[in-house]
Amino acid sequence: MTSDLFWSVCETLLVNLGDVMQNNFMKIATTRDQASAFDAQDPLAHVRVHFKLPEDVTYLVGHSLGPPHSAALERLNHCATESWAKGLVGSWNSAGWFDLAAKLGGKLSSLIGAEQDEVMVTDTVSVNLFKLAASALPLTQGARQICVDAEEFPTDQYVAEAFADLIGVSCRRVQPGEDFGALSDGGVYIKSAVNYRSGERVDMKAYELKARESGALLLWDLSHATGVIALDMKKAGAKLATGCTYKYLNGGPGAPSFIYAKKSLLPKLYTPLPGWMGHAAPFEFEGRYRPRESAARFASGTPPILSLSALQGALEAFEGADMKILEAKAGALGDLCIARAEEIGLEVISPRVASKRGGHVSLKVKNGYPVTRALHAKGFQSDFRTPDTIRFGFSPLYLRYVDVWDLMETLSNIVETKSWDAPEFHARSEVT
Which residues are identified as catalytic?
A: 153, 221, 246-247, 391
Between the alpha carbon of residue 144 and those of residues 135, 151, 187, the distances in Å are 13, 22, 5
Strand-pairing partners, residue 389, are 364, 385
What is the rounded distance in angstroms from the CA atom of residue 239 to the CA atom of residue 217? Answer: 8
Q: What is residue 79's DSSP assignment? A: I
Asked whether the beta carbons of 148 and 100 are under 8 A apart, the reply is no
Between the alpha carbon of residue 356 and those of residues 23, 60, 86, 195, 241, the distances in Å are 19, 20, 50, 11, 20
Residue 168, sorted as left (phi over 0), alpha (psi -120 to 50) or beta, turns out to be left
| Strands (E) located in 310-374 | 347-348, 360-364
CB neighbours of residue 26 within 10 Å:
12
CA 109, 110, 114, 120: dihedral to nearest 10 degrees? 0
Start-to-end CA distance of the chain, whole Å, equals 37
Asked whether the beta carbons of 190 and 155 are under 8 A apart, the reply is no
Asked whether the beta carbons of 91 and 246 are under 8 A apart, the reply is no
Packing angle, helices 401-417 and 368-377, rounded to 10: 120
